[in-house]
Amino acid sequence: MTTEQHRSAGATAIIGQKVLPGLEQAYESWQEDVNAAAADYAGYLGVEVSRPTDLQPEWVVVYRFDSVAHLQAWINSATRQRLLDVGDKYLDGPGTQQVVSGGTRPTDPLVTVVVTHRVDPAHVDEFLAWQRRMNQAEGRFEGFRGTEIFRPIEGVQDDWTTLYRFDSAEHLDAWLTSDKRRQVLAEGKKFDDFRLRTIDNSFGSWFAFDENGKEAPPPSETKTSLAVWVGLYPTVVLLTLALSPLGMPFWLGLLVGNLLSSFLMSFLTMPHYVNRLLGRWLRPPPDEPAARTNLVGLGIVAALMAFWVAVFYLVTAQIWTLP
């Protein structure tokens, strides 16, 4: 589902920059100084810094302010210009910058692609129609989580900016290299002057987006607690069984087990097990009766826990006794 954003409230700057090899630590220290300076400006809401990855070759810095005017005041400030002069020695050439107004946070637990187009004002309607066809095509690909389109901002941002999200780099690559995308790009040949950049931000909330890519209201604390319980119980027991032959002392076993369970919960258990089985209960469709949704969801929770209890009873009490 495509959402064209044109709100006055909230503004975000997405800045990409390559750093010279060997100067990453110095750059990071300098960037912390820049971020601290930004925090002193009116309307500042926050900043996020994303390190380069195999998918994202640049450092990406995302500033959020409460309005375009406040964001523009920071971007054009003498303070920032002085800091940029100091930090220029760490940077490998000029960076890229996009400013968008309104919308949801562009760095989220998904893989986000930022595409900018320079569009002739006479062709705006044609461009939007082409973007809708693009969105319909990518929406049929596995892992697609939504698109947002942002108009140019007079005096700040001349380009149209599109953010689209996939749940993994593999699913994104399947779309980027597909024949269908090449076909739709060919249909919009007059808009082929664009820049594309990927922001790899796979960390984040376990419960962040609904099935259409919109930011969803979080589940209730009760639902969240039960969902974490469903994932935590098998994760902890399986880790305990796996680590027990190592004979670690109690305090060390808990230290290692807690670390591993945190990683497993974030990258495996919650996204690929709990959210898939309980997603409809955690984020029910607005037109579905709450009583029915809760009944089905609680039934799934009870069935899953009964299954794991039976499995672990047989494994630990009948088949194998822990040392």
CATH of the domain at 98: 3.30.70.100
Same domain, 116 and 44: yes
My answer on whether 162 and 275 are in the same domain is: no
> Number of structural domains, the chain?
2
Last residue of a domain, one of 166, 200, 234: 200
Q: What's the CA gap between 72 and 50, in Å, rounded?
A: 22
Are 160 and 306 contained in the same domain?
Answer: no
Q: At what angle do helices 179-187 and 124-138 cross, to 10 degrees?
A: 170
Q: 193 CB contacts (<8 Å, ≥6 apart)?
A: 117, 118
Q: Which backbone phi and psi does 93 adopt, to 5 degrees?
A: 85, 175
Mean pLDDT of 18-40: 90
Q: How far apart are CA 89 and CA 91, in angstroms?
A: 6
289 — phi, psi (to 5°)? Answer: -55, 130
Q: 282 lies in a domain?
A: yes
Same domain membership, residue 307 and residue 189: no
Span of 8-12, 178-182, 277-281, 302-306 with lowest mean pLDDT: 8-12
- pLDDT, one tens digit per residue, over 68-114 is 788 888 888 888 888 888 888 998 876 777 777 655 443 445 677 77
Cβ atoms 50, 128 nearer than 8 A: no
Where does the pLDDT of residue 196 fall: very low under 50, low under 70, confident under 90, or very high at 90 and above? confident
User: Where in the sequence is the domain holding 160, given as residue range(s)?
Assistant: 2-200
Burial of 238 (0-12, 13-18, 19+ CB in 10 A): middle
CA 149, distance to chain mean position in Å, is 17
129 and 264, same domain (yes or no):
no
250 and 309: one domain? yes
Of 52, 222, 64, 192, residue with least CA distance to 119? 192
What confidence category does residue 207 fall into, taking pLDDT thresholds of 50, 70 and 90? very low
Residue 11 domain flag: yes
Are 229 and 190 found together in one domain? no
Q: Sorting pLDDT into bands at 50, 70 and 90, what band is 241?
A: confident
Residue 206 placed within a domain: no
User: Which token pair is 36?
Assistant: 């601290």
Which residue is it, tokens 């975000």?
12
Domain-located, residue 146? yes
Say yes or no: 236 and 111 in one domain.
no
The number of helices, as runs of H, and strands, as runs of E, in the chain is 10, 9
Banded pLDDT at 211 (limits 50, 70, 90): very low
Q: Could you tell me if residue 192 is inside a domain? A: yes
Residue 304 confidence class, pLDDT cut points 50, 70, 90: very high
Vertex 178, ends 168 and 193: CA angle to 5°? 95
Question: 248 and 110, same structural domain?
Answer: no
Kindly state whether residues 245 and 118 are assigned to the same domain: no
Is the pLDDT score of 4 beyond 70? no
Q: At what angle do helices 221-243 and 250-264 cross, to 10 degrees?
A: 130
CA dist., res. 312 & res. 322, Å (int):
12
